[in-house]
Chains A and B, each alone.
Chain A
Amino acid sequence: MFKRVFFHGLVAGVLAAIAAIIYNRIYFFATEADFSKILNIPSMIGLSLVICMIATFVNYGLVKWLRQKGEIVFNFLFSIISFACVMFPISISLPLDIKMPELFPGLAVPMVFFPVIAWLTIKPLFQAKEH
């Protein structure tokens, strides 16, 4: 069972990273605001994979512990935590040499939701394999 959850998390992490990289490029071309010191390709890949791997362990633990209700609790938990994490890019103080810090939330806030969106998007694929 853990193998299925692991691949679910891995694919979600990769998809979230791809989405973050694409959005980062679009945002840069739209605003010319360079936040590459904070958010660059390695950090976006790393963060996406770490978040989805943490989600993997939490999902596995909750399903093991609460059985069928585990998935429901996990989905709520992942969404609520993602929503709460919106405060992080809004409240962070960037290094002073980074120009236009007021544009940083516009880049980072949507990215906060990419892991949970990716996780829930591909969930039917991995559920289907179980049946």
Chain B
Amino acid sequence: MKKFIYPFAALALMIASAFTVIKSQDWKIADNYSIKFDGGDPAGEFKGLKGTVSFDPAALATSKFDVSVDVASINTGNGMKNTHAKSDAWFDATKYPTISFTSTAITKTPTGYLATGSFTMHGVTKPIAIPFTFANNTFTGSFEVNRMDYNIAAGEPNHGAQKFKVDVNVPVTK
């Protein structure tokens, strides 16, 4: 039995090493990113983007996004709207301080890539698919979110927009 120990150890090392070879590239999020939303009125942006960005076009199976933004960082350009958005009438930033996205799969598409995963906002998690491109070390994506799906001011469907277009532009560095 002892004679198999070293071959097994060598095999285990070989398999483990293989995983390190195909592991995706980890990226650091650069400071000049932008996460903008536009529902006509209101429109604005979020800051406080953090998390792990692991992406390699040649190893999509092991690529993964696990990122979040700080709800309290919302900026509509209007102080009154910012306060209202952070209050329990809308995002309830005290109770739900982050909006997060965790990918479960990333696939290649004719125009770029598609990240599918779970999107959590206002304590509600829903599946979502985010199309994006990756060029010049910058992720660029755009998707739509309906606040009613996340119980945000659900009692006031006509108070401001329901559907928001979210434009994400995230430069990254190695």
Contact = CB atoms under 8 A, between A and B. Distances in A.
A11 to B, nearest CB: 34
Nearest to A104: B79
A101 B79 contact: yes
Contacts of A105: 79-80
A128 interface: no
Contacts of B44: 93, 96
Interface residues of A, number: 14
A91 B77 CA distance: 10
Interface string A89-131: 0111111101011111100000000000000000000000000
Interface residues of B, number: 14
A95 B44 CA distance: 9
A104 B78 CA distance: 8
B45 A93 contact: no
Given A91-B78, A94-B78, A95-B77, A102 B45 contact: no
Contacts of A91: 78, 80
A101 B77 contact: yes
Interface in B36-88: 36, 42-45, 75-83
Given A96-B44, A96-B45, A90 B77 contact: no
A9 to B, nearest CB: 32
Contacts of A96: 36, 44-45, 75, 77
Interface string B8-44: 0000000000000000000000000000100000111
10 contacts: A90-B80, A93-B78, A94-B78, A96-B77, A101-B76, A101-B77, A101-B79, A101-B82, A102-B83, A105-B79
Which 8 A-B pairs rank lowest in CB-CB distance, beginning with the nearest?
Answer: A102-B79, A93-B77, A94-B77, A93-B78, A101-B79, A96-B45, A101-B77, A96-B77
